[in-house]
Amino acid sequence: MIPEIGHFAFIVATVLSILIFVLPLLKRFSLYRWQMQKTSVAMMLALTAVAVLSLAISFLVDDFSVAYVANNSNSTLAWPYKVAALWGGHEGSFLFWAAGITVALGCITFSRGLEPAFQRTTVAILAGVNAGFNLVIVLTSNPFARYLPDVPAEGRDLNPLLQDIGLILHPPMIFLGYIGFTVLFAGAMAALWRQQSGTQLGRWLRHWTLLTWIVLTGGNAFGSWWAYHELGWGGWWFWDPVENASFIPWLVATALLHLLYLNRRHQALTASSLCLCILGYALALVGTFLVRSGVIDSVHAFASDSSRGIAILSLLLATVGPAMAVIAWRGVPQSARVPLGGRAGFTLFGALLTLVASFAVLLGTCYPILFKMLDMGAISVGPPYFNSLFVPITCLCALLASLALVRKLKWQSAALVLGGSALASVALIAVYPTDSLAWVVPGLFTAIALLLSLMVRAVQTPDLFLRPRKAGMWLAHFGLVIAMLGATAVSNYEQNAMVRMGPGTGRIVAEHTVVYEATEQVTGRGFIATQARIRIEDGDGIKQATLLPQRRTYTDDMTELTESALLRRPMGDLYLSMGPELEQGEYLMRISFKPGINGLWLAAALMMLGGMLCLWPQRKESA
């Protein structure tokens, strides 16, 4: 009965979203239109909450008559993963997205301080988009569908790879970012329709863009961390199509933030900012289409279902198509020009390069798909393509940022930043030589240049850290420095060894002695595992830790997976992964030392903290 209540509540919420969208078109109710919309939004919030709660209860009580529950849970699954399974599959994740749009709709409807015409138009457009998402769920992705009359006695369980804290953190943050772009899309459409610009619109766009950027930063970082410690191959970014699907909107959000900064400083680029809001939403849906339609092969991708892909593509066309028509018909708001010289010019060119990077990643992601669709065979676009394009663009963006951050930039300041970074880079490479100079030199030089410019900015602004928004900007860019240094270190100085090991054998990697002590058989919830007990010693022979990498076999479907083990240290991780058995008692072991890897997670935390500080309400400041 509970699933039926949730299903009915969701259908009624869908009808209400359509009503909110069409009410502005009905002149008959013009006197009471806004009050009717507000009442309908309040009812939508309550009904959507009932729908989500009904599905969550179905997971918690193990109602395997619900197909979505039976396919993503079982009775022995820990309750946090039962809750997280709500967004772990296609139907539930789309429900999460639609519910998030409804919550955002409520926030905008009942917020104060917005210009009334803009607020009401945004609410109507966002309700229309919400209706589109709800219809996709009702027609093609019903999470409340039943297995009747043949109810399974037990569920199929959640994919073992998803039974990790990453499932609790990564997908919701990515979807919250997509929800943010959905709100920005509605606001941009309202501004274009009403030919609206000005300080209030810029503030509103900046607020939602910051929220979107913060959660996308966290979502991408948690996804990278999840793959690093769970998948067993030791990488932190593989340019997988699904990774790219969430990374591209983050790049667009980054470019949009910088355009909105210029909009605030120079009352310029209003039209470009609005178009980027629409582009970010469109790319979020394109990424969703890639993941849900079955057109790509990825460990992240959902099961192939052409009807879902067609529904998502239809939603994309039904929302972005009218946006293009509004731009063609109504035009774009006029605004001032950005001065191309000085710091504003550096910021603008950096934002444009970030957009170029996003389209380069999009091209590399979609090219194999287009190649296959045209029946031209199979082609693979891997990390070499993405690295060869993305790394130089990132370095150039960092260099432009280093010049844009220095106030009253003169040749003395530029010489200090660029000359100091050159000397520091040469010194570091002399101390840590490498054969990958073509990659290390640009990364080190531009990261250090950005670091020096941040130090100069801190000296130029004595009260920098007493002003939250200024401190937030500084921290976010400092996070970029840490990310670039960490990525340069782990990509070019990583040490790897693939060795045959058994009880009593050892190997030295990066001044760590790895000693294989014993092989054990262990059991866990739903799996049996072969576990290696490995002692880690430092250069003086002192024991540092005992690591327990495993090869697990899940009894439900006999899936075999590797569970890696890590010795985490501030300067880098020692990473162990247990391969297949070679001979009696001996296994193939992958041992890696990854210097600087933790800088990537620290960088994401600094960027998120910086973004949060930038949300701080503050009086007008000079840049």
What is the average per-residue pLDDT within 63-91? 91
Contact 509, 495 (CB under 8 A): yes
The residue among 499 and 150 whose pLDDT is bigger is 499
Q: What is the pLDDT of residue 373?
A: 75
How far is C-alpha 289 from the geometric centre of its chain's CA atoms?
16
Q: What is the DSSP letter of 204?
A: H
Amino acid at 395: C
Q: What is the pLDDT of residue 30?
A: 64
Residues in the chain: 623
Helices (H), 141-198: 165-193
pLDDT confidence band for 303 (50 / 70 / 90): low
Residues 6 or more apart whose CB falls under 8 angstroms from that of 34 comprise: 120
The β-bridge relationship of strands 586-595 and 572-583 is antiparallel
* Tens of pLDDT, residues 314-346: 999 999 999 999 988 877 776 667 777 788 899
Q: What is the pLDDT of residue 619?
A: 59
Q: Which helix (H) or strand (E) holds 410?
A: none
Give the Cβ contact number of residue 532 at 10 Å.
22
pTM for this one? Answer: 0.94
Indicate if the pLDDT at residue 96 is higher than 50. yes
> Of 193-202, 386-395, 460-469, 584-593, which gets the smallest average pLDDT?
193-202
Contact 578, 589 (CB under 8 A): yes
Contact 377, 371 (CB under 8 A): yes
* Tens of pLDDT, residues 188-199: 999 999 888 778
Q: What is the pLDDT of residue 154?
A: 85
Q: Which residue has the tokens 């240094």?
A: 485
User: Which of 186, 164, 219 shows the shortest CA–CA distance to 119?
Assistant: 186
User: Which of 80, 277, 254, 289 shows the shortest CA–CA distance to 180?
Assistant: 277
Q: Rounded to whole angstroms, how far apart are CA atoms 590 and 499?
A: 7
pLDDT confidence band for 54 (50 / 70 / 90): very high
Indicate if the pLDDT at residue 515 is higher than 80. yes
Both tokens of residue 234?
């030791």
Q: What is the DSSP letter of 66?
A: B
- The sign of the CA dihedral 250, 255, 256, 257 is positive
What average pLDDT is seen over the chain? Answer: 90
Residue 395: helix, strand or coil by DSSP?
helix
Give the Cβ contact number of residue 558 at 10 Å.
7
Percent pLDDT > 70 in the chain is: 95
Indicate if the pLDDT at residue 252 is higher than 60. yes
* Tens of pLDDT, residues 457-483: 998 888 899 999 999 999 999 999 999
pLDDT confidence band for 263 (50 / 70 / 90): confident
What is the average per-residue pLDDT within 92-120? 95
pLDDT confidence band for 87 (50 / 70 / 90): very high
| SS3 readout for 106-157 | HHHHCCCCCCHHHHHHHHHHHHHHHHHHHHHHHHHCCCCCECCCCCCCCCCC
User: Which of 439, 454, 447, 348 shows the shortest CA–CA distance to 390?
Assistant: 439
What is the average per-residue pLDDT within 23-34? 75
Q: What is the pLDDT of residue 621?
A: 47
Q: What is the pLDDT of residue 623?
A: 47
Give the Cβ contact number of residue 21 at 10 Å.
21
Backbone φ, ψ for residue 452 (5° rounding) = -65, -40
Residues 6 or more apart whose CB falls under 8 angstroms from that of 143 comprise: 55, 66, 68, 91, 92, 95, 137
Contact 285, 293 (CB under 8 A): no
Q: Rounded to whole angstroms, how far apart are CA atoms 143 and 86?
A: 9
Q: What is the pLDDT of residue 622?
A: 46
What is the average per-residue pLDDT within 506-515? 92
What per-residue string of b and e applies to 502-528 under the rule 16 or more CB within 10 Å gives b?
A: beeeeeebbebbbbbeebeeeeeebbe
Q: Rounded to whole angstroms, how far apart are CA atoms 67 and 471?
A: 49
Q: Rounded to whole angstroms, how far apart are CA atoms 501 and 499?
A: 6
How far is C-alpha 520 from the geometric centre of its chain's CA atoms?
38
Geometric angle at alpha carbon 170, from 168 and 174, rounded to 5°: 125
Amino acid at 163: Q
Geometric angle at alpha carbon 43, from 37 and 48, rounded to 5°: 120
* Tens of pLDDT, residues 198-248: 788 889 999 999 999 999 999 999 999 998 988 766 688 889 888 999 999
What is the average per-residue pLDDT within 70-84? 90
Q: Rounded to whole angstroms, how far apart are CA atoms 249 and 227?
A: 20
Q: Give the DSSP letter string of 434-449.
A: -S-HHHHHHHHHHHHH
Percent pLDDT > 90 in the chain is: 64
* Tens of pLDDT, residues 130-167: 999 999 999 999 999 998 888 888 888 787 878 888 88
